[in-house]
Amino acid sequence: MLYINGEWRQANSGQTLDVLNPATGEIINTVASGGKEETKEAIQAAKKAFKSWKKATGEERGKYLAKAAELMKEKKGEIARTITMEMGKPLPHAEREVAGAINYVVWYAEEAKRVYGETIPASHPDKHLMLLRQPVGVAAAITPWNFPASMITRKIAPAIAAGCTVVLKPAPSTPLSAIKVFECFHEAGFPEGVANLIIGPADEIGKELTKSPDVRKLTFTGSTPVGKMLLKESADTVKKISMELGGHAPFIVFEDADMGAAIKGVLGTKFVNSGQTCISTNRIYVAESIAEEFGQRLAEQAAKLKVGNGLEDGVDVGPLINEQALEKVENHVADAVQQNGKVLCGGNRYGNGKGSFYEPTVINFAQESMKITTEETFGPVAPIYTFKDEEEVIERANHESYGLAAYCFTKDLGRGYRMMSELEYGIVGINDPAPIVAQAPFGGFKESGMGKEGGRSGILEYLEEKFVSVGIGN
Ligand code: ADP
């Protein structure tokens, strides 16, 4: 179903799209698929709603969001199950995602009350200078399938808190989670047009959103090539933009690191979501002196992970999103093997061919020339590289055009601080493989994107700064 101007509806054309379960390949539901016309209607609904929503007090906007968060809490089991069914991650991981998704709504429900302006010292006694922060207008949000609930709330909660109205386009492979989240927003009683949901062909909806002068903000999470294209498409209407794009996270393990903790960290950052996360570990740099032991221990642990349908008990690693994703992983592993990479565990498809499963894989002797280094694999493949010293590993870790997340394990405090300042990444975890929280900014450097989501920075992305100079002399 589409959700436009406070109403659930079908597409004007009656078109639909099928939603598949990647663990079974079966169709689990069919939803309305809208296009250009419906997107136009949603933009106009959001434009109309903006006139009054921008005038609502922060407290009032916060109350609606708090209500939406309550409803999400009530329905958390249902939302998590939907995520697992359409996207594949194991149910406990989906439950964690829903908890994270709710955190964003709760946090921004509170933050809505704190959209402060500033006063600026004047150069003349007869002037009073002020900076106002005002909502930018209609915000278009385009979200991916890998976190089909939390990527939505991380965008629409701050937008709505700031006083913007929203048109959301989720990934066509995971519309059901988006519908579940929107059901909560609908029940929370937001005025009609504040939040709108359009499901359908990406290209057609995307063009309408980017070309429309009524859309003043575009927030996107997805691949770098699509992000670049959307930037170009938005140029004619000069929108405010934020983008969370691809990543290629280094995970650096020094010889003094707690090896058990580092291995646990790699298992968490590499195999969770089957490696389909922009902050997934992509390159594991291990100090030469401990690399052999590290590789063996990591492979032993990775081989124990249970692969399967995320609805089954005890499953650690679900399927990849689709056959193309599986083929890309196969291609990267074959390329690594051809360039003398050694498979320590995994290296094959998993199962009876029904779902798109791949075994957790560890590859030793990884090289800079391999596709696993130069491209984002987006799969459960952990390549190990060795390094000699700090300077060398910083140089190699920073080499990529991406700059989203980096991890570093060391017990040397000074080294931890040096790594913190030298790594050219928007998010750095020092002895912490899970550095993402609602109250902190998430976002990348270089081709990993622009702007931030989460925390105080996240709401600023939906606000314009207006400078006002008032003459106060007689
Ligand atoms: P992935 O490769 O992880 O699917 P994409 O960048 O293709 O990443 O998708 C992320 C989001 O961008 C999804 O909602 C997808 O539908 C959308 N998208 C993909 N292509 C376009 C496009 N041409 N215009 C607008 N949105 C797009």
Confidence of residue 400 (pLDDT cuts 50, 70, 90): confident
SS3 300: helix
CA of 226 to the centre of ligand 1 (A): 6
Residue 241's DSSP bridge partners are 218
Confidence of residue 319 (pLDDT cuts 50, 70, 90): very high
Residue ID of nearest Cα to ligand 1 atom 27: 202
Q: Which residues of 370-400 are buried (b: 16+ CB within 10 A; e: fewer)?
A: bbbbeebbbbbbbbbbbbeebeebbebbbeb
Q: Which atom of ligand 1 is nearest to the CA of 276?
A: 3
Pairing of strands 240-244, 215-221: parallel
Q: 455 in the Ramachandran plot: left (φ > 0), alpha (ψ -120 to 50) or beta?
A: left
Separation of alpha carbons 227 and 265, rounded Å: 29
CA of 265 to the centre of ligand 1 (A): 29
Q: Which of 226, 230, 274, 447 to mutate to test the pocket of ligand 1 (most atoms within 8 A of CB)?
A: 226
Separation of alpha carbons 88 and 279, rounded Å: 18
Q: Specify whether the CB–CB gap between 248 and 371 falls below 8 A.
A: no
Strands (E), 103-145: 118-120, 127-135, 138-142
> Tens digits of per-residue pLDDT, 84-122?
999 999 999 999 999 999 999 999 999 999 999 999 999
Judge whether 400 counts as a catalytic residue. Answer: no
Residue ID of nearest Cα to ligand 1 atom 22: 203
Confidence of residue 217 (pLDDT cuts 50, 70, 90): very high
Q: Which of 86, 111, 183, 278 is catalytic?
A: 278
Residue 238 phi/psi, 5-degree rounding, is 40, 70
CA of 201 to the centre of ligand 1 (A): 10
Residue ID of nearest Cα to ligand 1 atom 15: 171
Residue 352 phi/psi, 5-degree rounding, is -95, 15
CA of 171 to the centre of ligand 1 (A): 7
**Which residues make Cβ contacts (< 8 Å) with residue 299, sequence separation at least 6?**
344, 345, 362
Neighbours of 54 (CB within 10 A): 16
Q: CA 164 from chain center: how many Å? A: 20
Average pLDDT over residues 320-348: 98
Half-sphere exposure of 264 (CA within 13 A, CB side): 8
Cα-based torsion angle of the residue sequence 75, 81, 83, 86 in order, rounded to the nearest 10 degrees: -140
Q: CA 316 from chain center: how many Å? A: 21
Residue ID of nearest Cα to ligand 1 atom 20: 202
Separation of alpha carbons 378 and 99, rounded Å: 24
pLDDT of residue 300: 98
User: What residue has token string 């050219």?
Assistant: 424
Q: Which of 97, 244, 359, 422 is catalytic?
A: 244
Strands (E), 33-170: 118-120, 127-135, 138-142, 165-169
Instruction: Indicate whether 341 pLDDT > 80.
Output: yes
Q: Which atom of ligand 1 is nearest to the CA of 146?
A: 3
Q: Specify whether the CB–CB gap between 267 and 433 falls below 8 A.
A: no
> Tens digits of per-residue pLDDT, 227-258?
999 999 999 999 999 999 999 999 999 999 99
Confidence of residue 168 (pLDDT cuts 50, 70, 90): very high
CA of 121 to the centre of ligand 1 (A): 45
pLDDT of residue 162: 98
Residue 472 in tokens: 């106060």
pLDDT of residue 405: 98
pLDDT of residue 353: 82
Q: Which of 62, 162, 56, 69 is nearest to 110 (CA)?
A: 62
CA of 221 to the centre of ligand 1 (A): 8
Separation of alpha carbons 168 and 153, rounded Å: 10
pLDDT of residue 354: 87
Straight-line distance from the first to the last Cα atom of the chain, in angstroms, rounded to the nearest whole number:
60
Q: Specify whether the CB–CB gap between 173 and 145 falls below 8 A.
A: yes
Instruction: Indicate whether 474 pLDDT > 80.
Output: no
Separation of alpha carbons 101 and 246, rounded Å: 20
Q: Specify whether the CB–CB gap between 320 and 274 falls below 8 A.
A: yes
CA of 191 to the centre of ligand 1 (A): 29
User: What residue has token string 């150069």?
Assistant: 123
Pairing of strands 165-169, 195-197: parallel
Residue 347's DSSP bridge partners are none
Q: Which of 379, 382, 146, 148 is nearest to 275 (CA)?
A: 379
pLDDT of residue 245: 97
Residue ID of nearest Cα to ligand 1 atom 9: 222
| Amino acid letter for position 459 | I
Average pLDDT of the chain to the nearest whole number: 97
pLDDT of residue 399: 86
User: What residue has token string 């690693």?
Assistant: 317
Residue ID of nearest Cα to ligand 1 atom 23: 203
Residue 77 in tokens: 């089991």
Query: Percent of the chain having pLDDT more than 90?
Result: 99
SS3 435: coil
Pocket around ligand 1 at a 6 A CB cut-off:
142-144, 169-172, 202-203, 206, 222-223, 226, 229-230
Q: Specify whether the CB–CB gap between 193 and 45 falls below 8 A.
A: yes
Q: Which of 142, 207, 224, 377 to mutate to test the pocket of ligand 1 (most atoms within 8 A of CB)?
A: 142
Q: Specify whether the CB–CB gap between 359 and 346 falls below 8 A.
A: yes
Instruction: Indicate whether 133 pLDDT > 80.
Output: yes
pLDDT of residue 350: 97
Average pLDDT over residues 338-367: 96
Instruction: Indicate whether 436 pLDDT > 90.
Output: yes
Judge whether 164 counts as a catalytic residue. Answer: no
Q: Which atom of ligand 1 is nearest to the CA of 229?
A: 23
